[in-house]
Amino acid sequence: MNKHSKKAHLEAAASHHEQAARYHHGASRHFETAQGQDHAHAAHQAMMAHGHTLQAIDEAHEAGAHSTGAPPTTPASTAPGASNASIVSAAAKQHATAAELHLQAAQHMRHAVKLFDQDRGAVAHDAQLALTLALRALSHGNEAARLFVRLAAVDA
């Protein structure tokens, strides 16, 4: 793979992180404002965020950032008998956390692109940090999805 295509993959990863952050922010806001209402729009935004997360991780892998050395963290869960309001609140928080992690990952990817021609070691370091953050964001997104399924089961 040539230098230009690696740099393009880093730029694409940063863009996907930014898009995932926007969708997670939207899902978080919708969960917060739609207490007791239809959460289909939030679920759609969450799915879009998830897709962009996976795209960002794929782009990072294509650029050569293959291993983080750190497993993704598992976010705290809500209690089994939690109320709908607490489940919705927890889902909103998970999306907000995922969005913040994606913004941080995008910043690292943008920094890697900026340094691409000067310092390959710094590029690799920033790409690895971004990938670690992406995996953490993915974990929070997965927890939000799990909470949504619990909410849908309660509402059914």
Cα angle 115-117-121, degrees, rounded to a multiple of 5: 60
Lowest mean pLDDT among 53-57, 65-69, 93-97, 126-130: 65-69
The whole-number pLDDT of residue 71 equals: 46
Residue-wise pLDDT for 122-138, tens only, equals 999 999 999 999 999 99
Domain boundaries, the chain: 3-155
User: pLDDT per residue over 80-94, tens digit each?
Assistant: 667 888 888 888 899
Spatial distance between the Cα atoms of 67 and 65, rounded to a whole number of angstroms: 6
Say yes or no to pLDDT of 156 above 60: no
Q: What global pTM score does this model have?
A: 0.76
Angle between helices 3-33 and 84-115 (to 10 degrees): 160
Packing angle of the helix pair 120-155, 84-115 (nearest 10 deg) = 160
Q: What is the rounded end-to-end Cα distance, in angstroms, of the chain? A: 50
User: What are 63's two structure tokens?
Assistant: 């650029």
DSSP symbol at 37: S
